Chains A and B, each alone.
Chain A
Amino acid sequence: MDQDSPKPGKLYLWLDERVGLSDFAKLAKKKEVPQHRHTFWYYFGGMTLFLFAIQVGTGILLLLYYRPSASEAFESIQFIMTEVEFGWLVRSVHSWSANLMVFAMFIHLFSALMLNAYRRPREMTWLSGSGLLGLTLAFGFTGYLLPWNELAYFATRVGTEIPGVIPVIGPFLRRLLRGGNEVTGATLTRFYGIHVAILPALVTVVLGLHLFMVQKHGMSRPPSVAGGDEGKRTMPFFPNFFLRDLVGWLCALGVLAALAAYFPAELGKKADPFQPAPIGIKPEWYFMAMFQTLKLLPAHILGIEGELLGVLGFALIGLILIAMPFLDRGAAWGKPSRLAAIFGALLISYSIILTYLGYTMSPIK
């Protein structure tokens, strides 16, 4: 304790003796964050975490009214949206916060990629982050089905058909995912269990590892700013960085509240397996680039089915991304990496172009 800081109260002393609060205080005091022209990008990890906390809170609230069966799911969400007081708000916040969380996570991912934060000794931080990316997309995919509306139904039909194109094990994987040969109420309960129990349990473990690694190694200073004065400057985590983090969270909360209030989540029509897929059907925006790719690929390329080639391509991109710390030997020695920069720029431009096409191309031509 500093001389001029207020005298600790009795409660603090009581707790400190039992829990060791002053150890945490010391830890927080010691923690420093590198300060340089790219410091801004550090805020997006925390922002993703903040939005995840909102997902947990609103998700628990939705559980109180949601009923996971093909005959009741749609109606229970209708009930939440129209009868339950502020039900529309809770569901809209859950839906928008999911989107913002994925967006913040992508910024976090690409900034870590471009600034070579994955390099030695942070390989485990990168790998656990890749795991969280996969888990988040799985959250998005399974959550999309739960309202049991037309869009969700066909998105899930297509999405679960995709692993089905893998030779040999494909059909088995598809069955395992769907809980049967078709997308039915069995798929809904399965996705529900995955969404509210299995994924949260996995995230708890992987997120714990990710945060622990971040604490252990601190934030990575990019190789491009490692030299000179900028290469040494830091700011204390508490309160300087933490307060800036809070400003970021407040901004995110503001955007979230505005989106949820002005653009409440829609529900659409109830799923009907005996109706054609609706014209203009599309997935969540973060799957749009993949969706559009599958749409544009011809039936056969060099004798191989187009969709299989597409799926293999996505898998390859994912693998390169995960393996980046091991592929990029230059960054390991503290040199700014051209490989990561080119790969990142290509991936970002490809995704933006295909997503743009997905939203603008006529659905019937």
Chain B
Amino acid sequence: MANDETSLAVDHGRRNLLNWFLSTTAGAFLVSVTYPLSRYLIPPEVEESTASTVTLAIKPNDVKANSGQIFRFGSQAGILVKDSNGKLKAFSAVCTHLACIVQYRADVSHIWCACHNGHFDLNGRNVAGPPPKPLEQFVVNVRADQIVVSKRG
């Protein structure tokens, strides 16, 4: 009997060791599969355009009062607005609610998002509907016959 018990104890020790090897191997295998897999699924950073200034293709005099239009600002969309006094303003065109592209509504003189009916005034302030924050405002400079839009700061 005593012999049996010792052999059982030895067996356990050996089994524990083998189990330890087996589970660390399985664990290492699992990590070596899931790590590259999860890294693969996360998209790599693509270099974004860092330009903080853009010259628009449109001339200041071609923009009608009480109108707005979308322009490209790097990979983002911006909106250029001329109010009824003829002053040019520019904002990010990405709605602060759920990121739709906004448009100018001449009937109410607001910047408006069609997706969830968000209204912004001509200072970019969120005045009605669900948008929680104002639109980012850009600086507009008219140099000779060109409109130059730049980010603040």
Q: Chain B residues near A161 (CB, 8 Å)?
A: 98-99
Q: Shortest beta-carbon distance, B83 to chain A, in Å?
A: 18
Say which residue of A176, A181, A186, A294 sits within 8 Å of B98 (CB atoms). Answer: A294
Is A273 at the interface (CB under 8 A from chain B)?
Answer: yes
A273-B101 contact given A182-B75, A294-B116, CB 8 Å threshold: yes
Is A279 at the interface (CB under 8 A from chain B)?
Answer: yes
User: Do A306 and B103 have beta carbons less than 8 Å apart?
Assistant: no
Is A6 at the interface (CB under 8 A from chain B)?
Answer: no
Q: Shortest beta-carbon distance, A163 to chain B, in Å?
A: 11
User: Do B43 and A306 have beta carbons less than 8 Å apart?
Assistant: no
Q: Shortest beta-carbon distance, A294 to chain B, in Å?
A: 6
Bits for A288-309, please: 1 = Cβ < 8 Å to B, else 0.
Answer: 0001001111111000011100
User: Do B115 and A281 have beta carbons less than 8 Å apart?
Assistant: yes
Interface size class on chain A is 35 or more
| CB-CB nearest in chain B for A280 | B114
Q: Chain A residues near B132 (CB, 8 Å)?
A: 299-300, 305-307
User: Do B100 and A154 have beta carbons less than 8 Å apart?
Assistant: yes
Q: Tell me the bound Cα distance from A84 to B47 in angstroms.
A: 40
User: Do A277 and B100 have beta carbons less than 8 Å apart?
Assistant: yes
Q: Chain B residues near A295 (CB, 8 Å)?
A: 115-117, 129-130
Q: Tell me the bound Cα distance from A180 to B70 in angstroms.
A: 22
Is B30 at the interface (CB under 8 A from chain A)?
Answer: no
Q: Tell me the bound Cα distance from A190 to B48 in angstroms.
A: 20
User: Do A276 and B70 have beta carbons less than 8 Å apart?
Assistant: yes
Q: Chain B residues near A158 (CB, 8 Å)?
A: 98-100, 115-116
Q: Chain A residues near B43 (CB, 8 Å)?
A: 175-176, 178-180, 186
User: Do A275 and B70 have beta carbons less than 8 Å apart?
Assistant: yes
Q: Tell me the bound Cα distance from A299 to B101 in angstroms.
A: 18
User: Do A275 and B101 have beta carbons less than 8 Å apart?
Assistant: yes
Is B131 at the interface (CB under 8 A from chain A)?
Answer: yes
Q: Chain A residues near B131 (CB, 8 Å)?
A: 299
Q: Chain B residues near A305 (CB, 8 Å)?
A: 132
Bits for B62-86, please: 1 = Cβ < 8 Å to A, else 0.
Answer: 0000000011100101000000000
Q: Shortest beta-carbon distance, A102 to chain B, in Å?
A: 22
Q: Chain A residues near B97 (CB, 8 Å)?
A: 294, 307
Q: List 22 A-B contacts (CB under 8 A).
A: A154-B101, A154-B115, A157-B98, A158-B98, A158-B99, A175-B43, A182-B75, A274-B71, A276-B100, A276-B103, A277-B103, A277-B113, A277-B114, A281-B100, A294-B130, A299-B126, A299-B130, A307-B98, A363-B117, A364-B112, A364-B114, A364-B117
Chain A contacts to B: CB under 8 angstroms = 154, 157-158, 161-162, 175-176, 178-182, 186, 273-281, 291, 294-300, 305-307, 363-365
Besides A157-B100, A162-B98, 6 other A-B contacts (C-beta < 8 A): A158-B115, A175-B43, A182-B75, A298-B130, A299-B130, A307-B132
Ranked nearest first, the 10 interchain pairs of A and B with the lowest CB-CB distance are A276-B103, A277-B100, A295-B116, A161-B98, A277-B114, A158-B98, A305-B132, A161-B99, A299-B132, A179-B43
